[in-house]
Chain A
Amino acid sequence: MLSLDLSFYNWGLVTNYLLKGFLFSVQLTIIATVGGIAFGTVLALMKLSGKALLEYPAAFYVNTMRSIPLVMVILWFFLIIPMLIGRPIGADLSATITFIAFQAAFFAEIVRAGIQSVPLGQTYAAEALGMTYGQNMRLIVLPQAFRNMIPVFMTQVIILFQDTSLVYAIGAYDLLKGFEIAGKNYGRPIETYALAAITYFVICFSLSRVARKIQTKVAIIR
């Protein structure tokens, strides 16, 4: 019968192996969220602009990103960026750039749906008041759109946090990598992978509960 040795579960494990990886996973999630929303909003506005010159490149970008496995996107960027800038780039920086670019495609679709959920009357009213396109978007449409987007958006951030574990493919030091290295050094892969699963579950499950609470609070009143 299998005996689990859990004696190595102590603070040393956390401070020596896990903390660095956890902080990187969180940092990657936050940067990719902020960068992805910024870039994704631009893509969404391009797609909704009605001008072929803006619409088609944005649609092509979004569709391409969404139809390739994330692991392949990570590998692509890790291969291409050093070729473009002419010098090697660390796995951490490469992962950060990849996740901003990848998440932008997903946030673009969420933002687009959010903008389309704002009744057209709002846009017409703003136009009737003499607002420019920029004022209309910034003051009228986007504030309402972002509020409508919050539920889908939070689900996407939880998925994003889970997806950061795929930087395993290029060897960046994230939470999963921390567990893996600890498992190798202690010679206890079974226990550390089990603990990794529990850790991810606790984080993602708690986040989804928080998300559900917030969803009921921000439900828009019409």
Chain B
Amino acid sequence: MALDFGVFCKNTLDGGVVDHCFSSVFGLAANSDPSYLDWLISAWGWTLLVSGLGLAIAIVLGILMGALRTLPDTKSTYRFLLWFSTCWVELFRNIPIIVQVFLWYYVIPAFVTPLKSVPSFWLVSIALGFFTSARIAEQVRAGIGSIPSGQRAAATALGLTTFQTYRYVILPIALRIVIPPLTSESMNLIKNSSVAFAVSVPELTLFAMQAQEETSHGIEVYLAVTALYALSAFFVNWIMTLIEKRSRIPGVVSISPSAKLAQ
């Protein structure tokens, strides 16, 4: 079975061959009808946009919720925050991501009417972000849990408030510890962004389904899409490794919670 990647140079409207594969993206051709390659690139852009927004939401909320879950239960405010963050994690961890996407797309806008005018890619990003934040929160909690309790005690002895303790003592160490599990959660988020097809965000998976049907060159289309997903994941991995190297404190060897367990 021979693969025919010429399909990507075909016009998406009538299937004719366009005079330049990147016909509309870079404005290279006189014939400006989009080719399948143009469509593929724009679909990749949507995947990266949805994942990027989702990741930003997930990291901020994940760190916040993870930190709240480790608060001491000395005050009633803290007890409430502990309860709230626990509910948050359990809620967003125990509903499948595709069902959460439907919740944000159909159910929640019915109650929160301003959301009706929000574009669907935003709703998917929120869904992905909240879903992943529950997982990141668990990693952050484990990371904070692996810090010797003497650190917290020392901060208290110095007269730091709880907020200051987290801001200046606990989080700077914990966040460095959780970079490896955070990397794999980020890669999972890119993979999970494929559920956006269910609410018609024109990203890679929706492209794969539609182009496969139109061109009947499914294998070539799927190979290209799969390669772009892999490429995106490697890219995130590379950035996170860079961040890990940049943020490393000389002399402090951080051991990830999972690495500790494996020993």
A interface list, Cβ under 8 A from B? 2, 67-72, 75-76, 79-80, 113, 116, 158, 162-163, 165-166, 168-169, 176, 189-190, 193-194, 196-197, 200-201, 204-205, 208
Residue of A nearest to B109 (CB): A190
Q: Which of B99, B208, B209 is the one whose CB lies under 8 Å from A200?
A: B99
Chain B: interface residue count, which band?
A: 35 or more
Within the assembled complex, what's the spacing in Å between the Cα atoms of A39 and B249?
A: 43
Within the assembled complex, what's the spacing in Å between the Cα atoms of A71 and B90?
A: 24
CB distance from B230 to the nearest CB of A (A): 5
Q: For the complex, would chain A's binding face be called helix, strand, loop or mixed by DSSP majority?
A: helix
A72-B262 contact, Cβ under 8 Å, with A176-B99, A193-B99, A197-B107? no
Within the assembled complex, what's the spacing in Å between the Cα atoms of A208 and B86?
A: 14
Would you call B98 and A165 a contact (CB within 8 A)? yes
Would you call B222 and A72 a contact (CB within 8 A)? yes
CB distance from B192 to the nearest CB of A (A): 7
Interface-central residue, B90, B97, B98, B226, by most chain A CB under 10 Å? B98
Contacts of B195 in A (CB 8 A): 71, 166
Contacts of A113 in B (CB 8 A): 262
CB distance from A86 to the nearest CB of B (A): 13
Within the assembled complex, what's the spacing in Å between the Cα atoms of A70 and B103?
A: 21
Would you call A79 and B99 a contact (CB within 8 A)? no
| B residues 7-45 in Cβ contact with A at 8 Å | none
Within the assembled complex, what's the spacing in Å between the Cα atoms of A113 and B84?
A: 34
CB distance from A21 to the nearest CB of B (A): 13
Would you call A196 and B99 a contact (CB within 8 A)? yes
Q: Which of B94, B102, B192 is the one whose CB lies under 8 Å from A208?
A: B94
Q: Which of B198, B212, B262 is the one whose CB lies under 8 Å from A79?
A: B212
Contacts of B190 in A (CB 8 A): 69
Would you call B197 and A190 a contact (CB within 8 A)? no
CB distance from B193 to the nearest CB of A (A): 8
Contacts of B103 in A (CB 8 A): 193-194, 197
Contacts of B187 in A (CB 8 A): 67
Would you call B107 and A69 a contact (CB within 8 A)? no
Besides A162-B95, A165-B98, A197-B95, 6 new A-B residue pairs in contact (Cβ under 8 A), listed by A number? A67-B191, A67-B230, A75-B222, A79-B218, A165-B96, A193-B106
